[in-house]
């Protein structure tokens, strides 16, 4: 499979939790997941210790980049909340998914909240 295909599998596994937390609680804390050879996805949370979200995001990314040295790890995703400015100038919240694949494929996907209808 290509890096993009693996990243899509990982994203499709990771994003529903953010949508569920938004629907239930109106927010979510940063979290991540990684894809192993064979297709298993492992979810990873961050300790709710009062650290600011950017610190949690950076900790997850750093830990995943270290883990990426393991040949069994194919890709990782970090999922967090951001505010974005739409083309019409309106600022809205969005789920951001930062994906990295061991073959060098990297992408950030944004899901503005108004699009979360399913």
- pLDDT confidence of 47, banded at 50, 70, 90? confident
Q: With contact defined as beta carbons under 8 Å apart, do 75 and 99 qualify?
A: yes
Indicate whether 117 pLDDT > 50.
no
Mean pLDDT of 100-109: 94
* pLDDT at residue 87, rounded to an integer: 83
Indicate whether 115 pLDDT > 70.
no
Place of tokens 């890709």: 75
* pLDDT at residue 49, rounded to an integer: 77
Burial 72-107 (b: 16+ CB within 10 A, else e): ebbbbbbbbbeeeeeeeeeeebbbbbbbbbbeeeee
Give the count of domains, the chain. 1
Could you tell me the residue range of the domain that residue 10 belongs to?
3-115
pTM surpassing 0.95?
no
What is d(CA 77, CA 42) in angstroms, rounded to the nearest whole number?
10
Nearest CA among 102, 115, 103 for reference residue 19: 115
């Amino acid at each position: 499979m290509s890096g993009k295909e693996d990243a899509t599998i990982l994203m499709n596994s990771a994003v529903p939790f953010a949508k569920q937390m938004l629907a239930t609680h109106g927010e979510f804390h940063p979290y991540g997941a990684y894809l192993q050879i064979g297709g298993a996805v492992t979810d990873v949370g961050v300790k709710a210790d009062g650290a600011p979200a950017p610190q949690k995001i950076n900790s997850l990314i750093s830990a995943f980049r270290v883990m990426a040295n393991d040949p069994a790890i194919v890709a990782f995703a970090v999922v967090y909340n951001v505010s974005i400015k739409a083309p019409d100038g309106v600022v809205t919240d969005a789920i951001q998914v930062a994906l990295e694949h061991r073959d060098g494929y990297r992408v950030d996907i944004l899901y503005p909240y108004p699009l979360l209808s399913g």
